[in-house]
Structure 1
Amino acid sequence: MDTVILSDWLSARLDRAAAEPSYRQVLRLMQQAILTGQLPPGTKLPSSRTLAGDLLIARNTVLRVYDQLTAEGYVISTMGSGTYVADTRPDSVAVNARRASPASGSIDKGAPTPIRREHGDLSSRGRRLIGQAGVSPKQWGAFMPGVPDVAEFPARTWSRLQAKLWKEANPDLLTYAPGGGYRPLRRALSDYLRVARSVNCTPDQIIITTGIHQSIDLAVRLLTDVGDRAWVEEPCYWGARSVLQSSGIKLVPVPVDDEGLNPREQDLQNPPRLALVTPSHQYPLGMVMSLARRRTLLEYARQHKVWIIEDDYDSEFRYGSHPLASLQGLDEAGQVIYVGSLGKMLFPGLRIGYMIAPEHLVDTFRTGVAELYREGQLMQQAVMTDFIMDGHLTSHVRRMRALYGERRQILIDAITARFGNELPVMGDEAGLHLVLGLPDHANDREVAAAAYDAGVIVRALAAYYSGETPARRGLLLGYACVPNAQIGPAFDTLARVIEQTALGASTRTTGQRRHAT
């Protein structure tokens, strides 16, 4: 492409009515011509005056384009000689090395190797993570499990507290978070957790994180090596399972029964490096680990130096009884790492979680969280501190516990009215969801997919088991984020899907007759 053709080529493509400035258009077009070889290396560009006249644009515009092309290495300007297209072609030695056959060492002079796409680009653990991902494209609506009603959050109170802090604009709150997080927040959380969860800790033991996922990830990175074994409950929360697997940990699913984690003889004979448990409200089935099992687990961990990660994700919401004491409160050997989050109490987007490290590991965990994640969010942590200290957290949790209790009962009543005792309800004593059992022959994954197509979000219980054949079939139904008036209609929709996909024709007829009466 000579200089005359270049002017014509640019002029034909210059859109003078476009919102994009002429400078940006000419720069983009010339970059394209150089990269595609239409302007080969060594081509002398027309003078800025000539090109400006040909394109009917200001000379300063062309000078600005040439300056930018020079700065980015597309062209080379020589005093007294002119501006030439630089040779930016990939180095032939490097390209040929990439084309070499590993088997024969020969050089492929033909077309470059096609770029792999999608899962072919991933590592083996990356493929496993994406292939087993449980995250939903929707995070709100009936019956999304584990999501609080963010519409009930006292936003005005939060905004007022936040505005006060921003008005002061303390520079210390705008930098990275040293020492495991904002100390006043750690002190407030220590006081709260001692009363609400019977946790034994000092403010120094609390490490502020962005949530339970990060807390688990930090503990795993600092306390395990690739290939170490970890006990996980069977079934268990898919997110925790993904965090462990992505760190190269070998998972050992341990069954649960009505008393919680129930290790088998072969499990006990091969102590793991760590055990991840949800003793106060097993996720997803909802049982509570008995005191005898707790003491047994703690003694086993003490004898075999097993780290226990206690995931206490939503224990504030119990219906008909007070919140249960933590496993950490019984630990005398310093083997339990307690992790929790404020997201389910307030709103998930808050992204403030915490972990309680054994005293001898406090400095290690502080260094680890700062080194790996470069924590910040001190302003949010300061707002959270005032929110707790002024009593807003306690009153909000109390109010939401009552509201969620109402919604839980509305949902249970809807289930009973439609199915009677035919489908069992499990894990409804606490938390933000319950499990609706399905017949053994039912495919709960298919039911969940059909419900999604009908506009209702549920999770298949099978997704929480590590094996292909789950011990139980069922659906997780979250009720916390569903307004009272919408629970009945939404469940009617779900019930029709269940009757069509999981139950036989006779059951469907019986259900319709019961519903009509």
Structure 2
Amino acid sequence: MSDSALSIAFNPAGIELDPKKGLSRQLYEALRQRVLDGRLGSGSRLPASRDLAAALGISRNSVVRAYDQLYAEGFIEGRIGDGTYVAQLPEKALPRKKLSTNLSTGFSTGLSPGLSTKQGDLPVVTSSKVIHSTALERVGQHSLDLPPGGVPRAFRVGVPAFDLFPFEVWSKLQAAFWRKPDLQQLCYGDPAGDERLRELIAAYLRTSRGLSCSSEQILITSGAQQGISLCAQLLVEPGDGVAVENPGYRAAAHAFAIAGAKMQGIAVDQEGMDCSALAHMSNCRLAYVTPSHQYPTGVTMSLARRLELLDWAERNQGWIIEDDYDGEYRYCGAPLAPLAALDRQGRVIYVGTFGKVVFPALRLGYLVLPKGLIEPFARRRSLDMRHSEVSTQAVMAEFMAAGHFQRHIRRMRRAALSRRNALLTGWPQGIAGVGPMPGIAAGLHMAVPVINLEREQELLAQAKEAEVEINGLSSYWLQGSSEPVDKRAGLVLGFAAVPEADIKAALARLGKIWM
């Protein structure tokens, strides 16, 4: 039988090629699909490239390129002196042919949507089909919402005044690093982080926080969240109790819950977390706190509570995770000494970040670890990411060594204070159902009480219409909290993200719709 006769056995009906797109790619995909869904069975002979080109009205080169790709991927094979055939593929890997008639062409097909290579034809896989472990189930239950995008607006929470960052200085330092990099720094590095940066962080903490630590105790992370996640991975066993502030930083609670911990929300009052409640928790191994500026209420943990918490950790061989996310911002006196500075038994892990001083996208943070945890934490982090990106660490180290960091902190503190004052001064008075503004001695945000949840949601909806970003305090509570729903209501406002003029304009818009 001639090649021309054999080519008739392969009917090109249904292969439609768009001349405006890559012809060889389209033909490759069409033939590949026919092999996968069974229309071209194992051992089927394909026409010669010249005959198929003539049948489709395309160049022979396009057919040859399509065949070459199918050869490379194992879909077809050549037999010397006998032509080109579909490769012998495992029967179990191919669908059972269910013949159906294509009404437009009259040809039978054996289509199987399960093997379709077109995105639109792929079957929908539900979570019940893919979840096969408790870890995956926990991830589904404790995932985070995407943060708000776009340029920050008043009153976005968690964003510093990065419009004041000295980008020109940073870019020069970055360019200097890449102009003549140390070749040693371009190899695989220490998973604990750049040695020089760790030394400078330790020196900064000693002078600015009164935290006595060495560079060996510093572990560089990709932001504070990775540090919290590492603590969850290494210090918590499934079923362990973990105490978190309630309301509190939900992302931390999610990290511990994914590790299998049983979350216990501890009430927060004007002195911070109610540490006496820890005595009633069974099998509690760890407490997560934000003592310098509680997130989101803004209160500072009293010295009595700090000592009580340390005593609990020492007596129960527990761990305290201290998240000092915005400790640089104190508006009366020097920044408070952290809880870790009072620790004498090595039970506190200090979490620090550059995100609230520089900008969140930098993704640069650190842990201060008790000496016994340094090596296991570094080894565990190396499994997630071999080490941190080198240039960011090197540039930050130079930024600190040259004095830019300290100057920038002072500039940021002055700006945050000015923007805080603009919010306090311009805040509309007498808003129905809204309590008085709190005193704000630290941090980058404030929480204002609201009479009930219904009123909170109404105010949030009106603020959104006015293009003002405000968080509801109710969203910071753990699910299943015993506190009455209406007691959880409030408004959380960040005041550092935008200049004073934008704050005044946002307040003017709110005044029109709220009053």
Superposition TM-score, scaled by structure 2 size: 0.86
Change (3 A) 1:458 1:243: same
Change (3 A) 1:9 1:156: farther
Contact 2:241 2:281 in 1 (8 A): no
Number of aligned residue pairs = 480
Partner of 1:458: 470
Partner of 1:65: 66
- How much does 1:258 deviate? 1.0
In structure 2, which of residues 208, 211, 225 is the aligned counterpart of residue 213 of structure 1? Answer: 225
In structure 2, which of residues 497, 504, 514 is the aligned counterpart of residue 481 of structure 1? Answer: 497
SS of aligned partner of 1:208: strand
Partner Cα separation in structure 2 for residue 495 and residue 465 of structure 1: 28
Partner of 1:52: 53
SS of aligned partner of 1:286: coil
Partner Cα separation in structure 1 for residue 130 and residue 264 of structure 2: 28
SS of aligned partner of 2:488: coil
Partner Cα separation in structure 2 for residue 143 and residue 332 of structure 1: 40
- How much does 1:62 deviate? 2.2
Contact 1:230 1:249 in 2 (8 A): yes
> Which digits, 9 at most, give the CA deviation of each residue in 1:400-430, with x for residues without a partner?
1111111111111121546499532236221
Q: Which moved more, 1:116-125 or 1:238-247?
A: 116-125
- How much does 1:445 deviate? 4.2
SS of aligned partner of 1:284: coil
In structure 1, which of residues 272, 279, 288 is the aligned counterpart of residue 300 of structure 2? Answer: 288
> Which digits, 9 at most, give the CA deviation of each residue in 1:306-354, with x for residues without a partner?
1000000001011223211111011000000001110110011100100
Partner Cα separation in structure 2 for residue 147 and residue 279 of structure 1: 19
Partner of 2:99: none
Partner of 1:304: 316
> Which digits, 9 at most, give the CA deviation of each residue in 1:288-312, with x for residues without a partner?
1111111111122111101000000
Q: Which moved more, 1:45-54 or 1:335-344?
A: 45-54
Aligned AA for 2:79? T
Contact 1:174 1:379 in 2 (8 A): no
Partner Cα separation in structure 2 for residue 331 and residue 38 of structure 1: 72
Q: Which moved more, 1:205-214 or 1:77-86?
A: 77-86
Partner of 2:138: 125
Q: Percent identity at matched positions?
A: 38
Aligned AA for 1:476? V
Contact 1:427 1:435 in 2 (8 A): no
User: Counterparts of 1:237-252 in structure 2 under 5 Å?
Assistant: 237-252=249-264
SS of aligned partner of 2:45: coil
- How much does 1:449 deviate? 4.4
Aligned AA for 2:237? D
> Which digits, 9 at most, give the CA deviation of each residue in 1:355-400, with x for residues without a partner?
0110122112121211233223111100000001111111111111
Change (3 A) 1:135 1:56: closer
Partner of 1:353: 365
- How much does 1:266 deviate? 6.5
The answer to whether the aligner puts 1:262 opposite 2:274 as a matched pair is: yes
Partner of 2:16: 13
Change (3 A) 1:419 1:452: closer
User: Counterparts of 1:157-176 in structure 2 under 5 Å?
Assistant: 157-176=169-188
Partner Cα separation in structure 2 for residue 65 and residue 326 of structure 1: 66
User: Counterparts of 1:194-233 in structure 2 under 5 Å?
Assistant: 194-233=206-245
> Which digits, 9 at most, give the CA deviation of each residue in 1:147-203, with x for residues without a partner?
112222111111100000101132333333315000000001011111111112100
The answer to whether the aligner puts 1:141 opposite 2:153 as a matched pair is: yes
Change (3 A) 1:248 1:446: farther
Q: For the aligned residues, what is the CA RMSD?
A: 2.9
- How much does 1:486 deviate? 1.4
Partner Cα separation in structure 2 for residue 219 and residue 161 of structure 1: 33
Change (3 A) 1:491 1:195: same
Change (3 A) 1:420 1:197: farther
Aligned AA for 2:366? Y
SS of aligned partner of 1:165: helix
User: Counterparts of 1:57-96 in structure 2 under 5 Å?
Assistant: 57-86=58-87, 88=89, 91=92
Partner of 2:205: 193
Please, which runs of 5 or more residues in structure 1 have no aligned partner? 96-109, 500-510, 512-517
Change (3 A) 1:53 1:407: same
SS of aligned partner of 1:425: coil
Aligned AA for 2:139? G
Aligned AA for 2:490? G
- How much does 1:472 deviate? 3.4
> Which digits, 9 at most, give the CA deviation of each residue in 1:219-261, with x for residues without a partner?
1211221111111011111111111111111111111111111
Partner Cα separation in structure 1 for residue 426 and residue 278 of structure 2: 43
Partner of 1:328: 340
Change (3 A) 1:120 1:395: farther
SS of aligned partner of 1:319: coil
Aligned AA for 2:507? F
- How much does 1:452 deviate? 2.9
SS of aligned partner of 1:273: strand
SS of aligned partner of 1:295: helix
Partner Cα separation in structure 2 for residue 413 and residue 430 of structure 1: 17
Change (3 A) 1:8 1:403: same
- How much does 1:29 deviate? 2.4
Partner of 1:99: none
Partner of 1:272: 284
Partner Cα separation in structure 1 for residue 209 and residue 56 of structure 2: 74
Please, which runs of 5 or more residues in structure 2 have no aligned partner? 97-111, 115-122
Contact 1:134 1:463 in 2 (8 A): no
Q: Which moved more, 1:344-353 or 1:443-452?
A: 443-452
Aligned AA for 2:442? A
Partner Cα separation in structure 2 for residue 138 and residue 458 of structure 1: 14
Q: Which moved more, 1:481-490 or 1:202-211?
A: 481-490
Contact 2:221 2:388 in 1 (8 A): no
Aligned AA for 2:450? L
Aligned AA for 1:3? S
Partner Cα separation in structure 2 for residue 209 and residue 479 of structure 1: 27
